[in-house]
Chain A
Amino acid sequence: MTVRGRTVRERLVVVGNGMAATRLVEDLVRREAPYDITVIGDEPHPAYNRILLSAVLEEAHRPEDIWLHEPRWYDDHGVRLLLGQRAVRVDRERRRVGLSDGGGCEYDRLVFATGARPVLPPIRGIVDEFGGLRPDVHAFRSYADYGRLREAASTARRAVVVGGGLLGLQVGRALSVVGVDTEIVEVGPMLMARQLGGSAARVLERQVRRLGTEVYTGARAARLTADGMLLDNGYALTTDLVVLACGSRPASRLAERAGLFVRRGVVVDDRLTSIIDDRVHAIGDCAEHRARIHGFVGPAWEQATTLARVLCGEDAGYSGSRIVARLRANGLDVAVLGEPETTDGEVVEVANPLAGTYRKLVVKDGVVAAGVLLGDLSRIGVITQHYDRQTALGAAEPGGLLLGDSAAAPVTELPDDAQVCVCAGVSAGRIRRCRDVSEAVATTRATTGCGSCAGSVAQLVDAGANDGSHNAAAAV
């Protein structure tokens, strides 16, 4: 913005200090964007990688290494960071954000990056008389949630996790790994019902059970009592703690009260800008773009990067993301590409419940449109690349991708023209014609380079000695 020939830096206020907000600020700093930036975070500590919390709970990741930036980083880059402060109102007329401490800050541009809040299921007995969760009931979204659950888990013997989706499985496995006897209750007909079909879910369920975690599907947790968690199928699960992992909803109340257009999330266009106020933007789990709310970090980062470009005046747009959901849990290898249950296309699938594997690709016009890999991720690095790049595949290719590589033939069965000594360029046939290893070395120079073929050369010579091929060769 220029006023009488002088460039005036606009004030940019970011509400939220999660992964989307952090990536946005990083990208703006990297681009030396002309903004005075203020970040408002309601948690008391600086930004951290939320994705790692279940690994930290599982003790597979040290808690001190999930922090993304120290407060010094914000100072060094001239970013004002307000921690432990909540944005309580937004006055779009005056372009001012009111804060929980009574203060406020004015903006020229406002970004909602408020994330999502856990959905609390209608279970009787989980709430205390003040409307908060009972001490033995936990949500799992923030670092504070992690701290509280970790402490509880250190003394608990049994746990019930309500929700058999990605988060429920991760938390369930984590608790089980740290020694808590854990059961998972899922109201839907199967685990990861949003992503998986029946046969895949059965393979997964079996694997979860094999790892020692009981699973109840098609069962509603109805009531928490002194006897434990009562399910609507009549079961009563004794437990010391309960974790609620029933999904989340966009934290869009503030935006709604500010009179912005909000359906489930803050509705934004391809420039991640509110459709009714072009000074207001939204990214991450609180944003609704083309009627979608993603709830994954990948799209949140792509949105953050796009918005940074938009804010720098570039002609950038966000057109959606391709999602690969990866379960991060000890002993469970699951990757879901897109929405395999609802995407149209030809289905190629390979299932081996005995080995605990299930793989499926949904192919549309030769392109991988969705997929599931369960129990065997050996080809994930190629399949996700094809998915991300929308590579047009050949007819046999999806099947080929789902089958493993065949084992190599033993050395003695190599055809005569196969190269055995790469360094000296010696074929199996040449070696077979030699009487012993020293003849092979002297006449062919095999083994004189890197020496790695010494074993193969000896085997070939031995095999030749046994089948009498030396004589045949001598006759030639």
Chain B
Amino acid sequence: MADTTTGSTVDTHCPYCSLQCGMRLRAPESRRGSRRGPEVETWPEFPTNRGGLCRKGWSSVELLGHRERLTTPLARDPDTGELAPTDWDDALDRVATALRTTQETHGRDAVGLFGGGGLTNEKAYALGKFARVALRTSAIDYNGRWCMSSAATAGQLAFGLDRGLPFPLADLAETNLLVLVGSNLSETMPPAARHLTTLLDRGRPLIVIDPRRTPTAERATLHLQLVPGTDLALAHGIVHSLLAQGYVDQDFVERRTTGFDDVRRLVASYWPEHVERITGVAAPDITRAARMIGEASTAMVLTARGAEQHATGTDNVLAWINVALAAGHAGRTYAGYGCLTGQGNGQGGREHGQKADQLPGYRRIDDEDARRHVAAVWGVDPDTIPGPGRSAYEMLDALGTDDGVRSLLVFGSNPIVSAPNASHVAERLDALDFLCVADFVLSETAARADVVLPVTQWAEETGTLTNLEGRVILRRKAVDPPAGVRSDLDVLAALSERLGPGGGLIGTDPEEVFAELGRASAGGPADYSGVDYDRITREQGVFWPCPAPDHPGTPRLFLDRFATPDGRARFHAVDHRGPAEPPCADYPLHLTTGRILAHYQSGAQTRRVRELAEAAPEKFVELHPMTAERLDIYDTQRVRITTRRAATIAPARLSPHVRPDTVFMPFHWVGANLLTNDALDPRSRMPEFKVCAARVEPA
């Protein structure tokens, strides 16, 4: 491990998205006591990004030693109502007392935990264990529900296993056709787009499906600019055209799948001109896309939030999986369906137990064998482990109600900005008896807390994450945390001591916690038991499942069989329902939301980095010049955008790259999610972030 006081370097990873780009941090050549932070350098050998970094990565060190950094616990003064500094013992005592009182008065499930997809595997695992063993509450979930849960659910249904990409990211460059559905890769994870460059340089086509002509769509061989919320109908139109033109891989369908007959009958009603009417994509473009997919010898279909964040998100993904399966593009090298996970640890964060229905190793909490195995690792009676709890939005929706959570702990999340129908979520948070937030800056959610605990951040702590490829990577400590800050593991350990089960329940050494996580995951779908810190370092990450120390890990899944009981992938005959909230006379436009390059998630980190804040200082409403002319709006003018839930004001940004019937808003600031619809997907419980009906007018 590098010495952090000299000019030496540490190989580590970026704090932001699911790519987890490898980067080198060089400690400043200076003496002790210097206020200068480390510098970012490239780590060209790391295969996922091959030295590429975006401006978020380059500027990430600015968060270290930031002036808004929290370094002392805060507690709300009952007299003034203001947050005031206190010491750790007092803060932890307050939290423990509040939790105990709530559970005694209202029952175990009245205490809830809300986690995040940016937390390390060790923290996610510890949170789940803390909830199930120390608190014995079923109320635990995390913001990953709002990320890729629809793709996760669909992956389970179709393949029997959910791992974002079933192949290394670098395979993108080697396939013969790439289909991106609702992904703006060039802007949201620029280093990944290097693989697009290689693909295009090889003369291989790229199809992009997006309501906006994004920088990614700009590079596409074929861009299908669909109406928001019609992804599923478009996929059916493509399967229809594959069938019509004889491009279905009958041999693959027969040997390696089930359920195609129902899909085949269903899509007979999705002929191109009919799909054109639903999706707003011209029929000739639909048949052309099908021809490209049918003619490619290998192809990949990747979905991202654009297709997934809908009340029909799971079905949307299943329909796109149908496309890949029908054309035989799955279960082979350089071919397959994958999901471009968003959050830093979006993958690992959904595998180790911070999800309401789940135990470590991607096990189901209602599976008796899983409960027995995990209970044995934890040294508890399986019957004491609670059953499944409410999903993220449902938990937040019931906060402060009679049968809901009354005291909540939040780790690594800022739901006031990131939840749909956010003003309602703010109301629910205010209805709590007690709110504790662990964060390293005073996020919008932390500002409403009764107790705020300052915790370590990236580069001040060591831990593993699992990136979008299913590669377990090690993010190493490069600098010492400021005085007064503790790690999340320390906080959970201290709380569990105060709450009764005694010391040792939660480990505080990440490497030891990881070893325990490995044992708990052994035999589960996401088996980490053969992974350790040394292997990760030596092998530049290890792909799960890796069930033994001498197992090489699994960079490519499904080559011989899918993870279903019969080894076959499943087609799903899902029907088009369309957006939960279609436009109407009062709200005549589609509103879609998304990310921009300069920011990450709720912006709690990136809005505090000067370079990024200057590049993108505030939210905006992107609309087509024709739409703007109709509404008498000029570029940069402040406009009011209103939905059935709320209104917000932002400057207009005119762009011919958005459909004239659609407006776009980034969600990194308070605003967009006041407007979004909280209609949920019945299976993944994903809210409909990507489309609702809106009205825009001069402010």
Is A350 in the interface zone, CB < 8 Å from B? no
CB distance from B663 to the nearest CB of A (A): 13
Is B271 in the interface zone, CB < 8 Å from A? yes
Q: Name the one of A65, A385, A400, A450 contacting B197, with C-beta atoms under 8 angstroms.
A: A450
A11-52 Cβ-contact flags toward B at 8 Å (1 or 0): 000000000000000000000000000000000000011011
- Residue on A nearest B625 in the bound complex, by CB: A400
Complexed CA–CA distance, A439 and B185 (Å): 27
Is B634 in the interface zone, CB < 8 Å from A? no
Is B503 in the interface zone, CB < 8 Å from A? no
Is B307 in the interface zone, CB < 8 Å from A? no
Contacts of B282 in A (CB 8 A): 377-378, 380-381
Interface residues on A, range: 35 or more
Complexed CA–CA distance, A328 and B246 (Å): 18
16 A-B pairs besides A62-B245, A378-B282, A389-B588 with CB distance below 8 A are A52-B268, A73-B265, A328-B273, A377-B283, A397-B630, A401-B660, A422-B215, A423-B597, A425-B55, A425-B615, A445-B55, A450-B54, A450-B192, A452-B196, A452-B197, A452-B219
User: Number of B residues whose C-beta is below 8 Å from A?
Assistant: 57
From residue 575 to 597 of chain B, which have CB atoms closer than 8 A to chain A? 583, 585, 588, 597
Contacts of A396 in B (CB 8 A): 626, 629
Complexed CA–CA distance, A143 and B698 (Å): 56
Complexed CA–CA distance, A73 and B261 (Å): 11
B281 & A70 in contact (Cβ 8 Å cutoff): no
- Residue on A nearest B246 in the bound complex, by CB: A62
CB distance from B160 to the nearest CB of A (A): 25
A384 & B53 in contact (Cβ 8 Å cutoff): no
Dominant SS among interface residues on chain A: loop
Q: Name the one of A65, A69, A390, A400 contacting B243, with C-beta atoms under 8 angstroms.
A: A65
A401 & B626 in contact (Cβ 8 Å cutoff): yes
From residue 507 to 548 of chain B, which have CB atoms closer than 8 A to chain A? none
Is B190 in the interface zone, CB < 8 Å from A? yes
A450 & B193 in contact (Cβ 8 Å cutoff): yes
From residue 209 to 258 of chain A, which have CB atoms closer than 8 A to chain B? none
B180-214 Cβ-contact flags toward A at 8 Å (1 or 0): 00000111001111101100000000000000000
Complexed CA–CA distance, A55 and B186 (Å): 39
With A65-B264, A69-B265, A422-B215 given, is the CB distance from A452 to B273 under 8 Å?
no
Is B279 in the interface zone, CB < 8 Å from A? yes
CB distance from A409 to the nearest CB of B (A): 13
- Residue on A nearest B589 in the bound complex, by CB: A391
With A68-B269, A385-B227, A425-B55 given, is the CB distance from A450 to B186 under 8 Å?
yes
Contacts of B215 in A (CB 8 A): 422, 452
Q: Could you say which of A49, A68, A422 has the most chain B C-beta atoms within 10 Å of its C-beta? A: A422
CB distance from A301 to the nearest CB of B (A): 9
B268 & A381 in contact (Cβ 8 Å cutoff): no
B246 & A450 in contact (Cβ 8 Å cutoff): no
Contacts of B661 in A (CB 8 A): 382, 385-386, 389, 391
Complexed CA–CA distance, A381 and B227 (Å): 8
Complexed CA–CA distance, A388 and B261 (Å): 33
Is B284 in the interface zone, CB < 8 Å from A? yes
- Residue on B nearest A398 in the bound complex, by CB: B626
Contacts of A127 in B (CB 8 A): none
Is B387 in the interface zone, CB < 8 Å from A? no
Contacts of A450 in B (CB 8 A): 52, 54, 185-186, 190-194, 196-197
A451 & B246 in contact (Cβ 8 Å cutoff): no
Is B28 in the interface zone, CB < 8 Å from A? no
Is B225 in the interface zone, CB < 8 Å from A? yes
B637-681 Cβ-contact flags toward A at 8 Å (1 or 0): 000000000000000000010011100000000000000000000
Query: B residues engaging A (CB < 8 A)?
Result: 42, 51-55, 58, 185-187, 190-194, 196-197, 215, 219, 225-227, 243-246, 261, 264-265, 268-269, 271, 273-274, 276-277, 279-284, 583, 585, 588, 597-598, 611, 615, 626, 629-631, 656, 659-661
A422 & B273 in contact (Cβ 8 Å cutoff): no
A448 & B53 in contact (Cβ 8 Å cutoff): yes
CB distance from A244 to the nearest CB of B (A): 24
A49 & B191 in contact (Cβ 8 Å cutoff): no
Contacts of A62 in B (CB 8 A): 243-246
Contacts of A400 in B (CB 8 A): 626, 629
Contacts of B58 in A (CB 8 A): 424, 445, 448
Contacts of B598 in A (CB 8 A): 425
Contacts of A425 in B (CB 8 A): 55, 597-598, 611, 615
Q: Name the one of B193, B585, B659 contacting A449, with C-beta atoms under 8 angstroms.
A: B193
Complexed CA–CA distance, A422 and B192 (Å): 14
B190 & A52 in contact (Cβ 8 Å cutoff): no
Is A326 in the interface zone, CB < 8 Å from B? yes
A326 & B283 in contact (Cβ 8 Å cutoff): yes
A-B contact pairs, 28 of them (CB 8 A): A51-B274, A55-B271, A62-B244, A62-B246, A68-B265, A68-B269, A298-B277, A324-B277, A328-B273, A382-B280, A382-B661, A384-B277, A386-B661, A389-B588, A392-B630, A394-B631, A397-B626, A401-B626, A422-B215, A423-B186, A445-B55, A448-B51, A449-B52, A449-B55, A450-B52, A450-B190, A452-B219, A454-B197
Q: Name the one of B187, B192, B245, B629 contacting A394, with C-beta atoms under 8 angstroms.
A: B629
Q: Name the one of A69, A381, A424, A448 contacting B280, with C-beta atoms under 8 angstroms.
A: A381
CB distance from B244 to the nearest CB of A (A): 4
From residue 175 to 222 of chain A, which have CB atoms closer than 8 A to chain B? none
A392-411 Cβ-contact flags toward B at 8 Å (1 or 0): 11101100110001000000
Contacts of B656 in A (CB 8 A): 405
Is A333 in the interface zone, CB < 8 Å from B? yes
Q: Name the one of B55, B226, B583 contacting A423, with C-beta atoms under 8 angstroms.
A: B55
Is A61 in the interface zone, CB < 8 Å from B? yes
Contacts of B583 in A (CB 8 A): 389, 391
B54 & A424 in contact (Cβ 8 Å cutoff): yes
Contacts of B190 in A (CB 8 A): 422-423, 449-450
B244 & A388 in contact (Cβ 8 Å cutoff): no
Contacts of B264 in A (CB 8 A): 65
Contacts of B277 in A (CB 8 A): 298, 324, 384, 388
CB distance from B639 to the nearest CB of A (A): 15
With A385-B661, A450-B52 given, is the CB distance from A65 to B244 under 8 Å?
yes
B55 & A326 in contact (Cβ 8 Å cutoff): no
Complexed CA–CA distance, A424 and B680 (Å): 36
Complexed CA–CA distance, A297 and B659 (Å): 27
A65 & B186 in contact (Cβ 8 Å cutoff): no
Contacts of B284 in A (CB 8 A): 333, 377
Contacts of A473 in B (CB 8 A): none
Complexed CA–CA distance, A388 and B243 (Å): 29
Contacts of B225 in A (CB 8 A): 381
A61 & B55 in contact (Cβ 8 Å cutoff): no
B630 & A393 in contact (Cβ 8 Å cutoff): yes
Q: Name the one of A49, A378, A452 contacting B193, with C-beta atoms under 8 angstroms.
A: A452
- Residue on B nearest A382 in the bound complex, by CB: B660
Complexed CA–CA distance, A388 and B192 (Å): 39
A136-165 Cβ-contact flags toward B at 8 Å (1 or 0): 000000000000000000000000000000
Complexed CA–CA distance, A61 and B287 (Å): 11
B191 & A385 in contact (Cβ 8 Å cutoff): no
With A62-B243, A422-B190 given, is the CB distance from A448 to B268 under 8 Å?
no
- Residue on A nearest B273 in the bound complex, by CB: A326
Is A66 in the interface zone, CB < 8 Å from B? yes
With A328-B273, A380-B282, A450-B197 given, is the CB distance from A67 to B268 under 8 Å?
yes
Contacts of B281 in A (CB 8 A): 381
Is A276 in the interface zone, CB < 8 Å from B? no
Is A88 in the interface zone, CB < 8 Å from B? no
Complexed CA–CA distance, A380 and B273 (Å): 11
Complexed CA–CA distance, A389 and B693 (Å): 12
Is A348 in the interface zone, CB < 8 Å from B? no
CB distance from B436 to the nearest CB of A (A): 37
With A52-B271, A388-B277 given, is the CB distance from A422 to B187 under 8 Å?
yes
- Residue on B nearest A52 in the bound complex, by CB: B271
Contacts of A388 in B (CB 8 A): 277
Contacts of B630 in A (CB 8 A): 392-394, 397
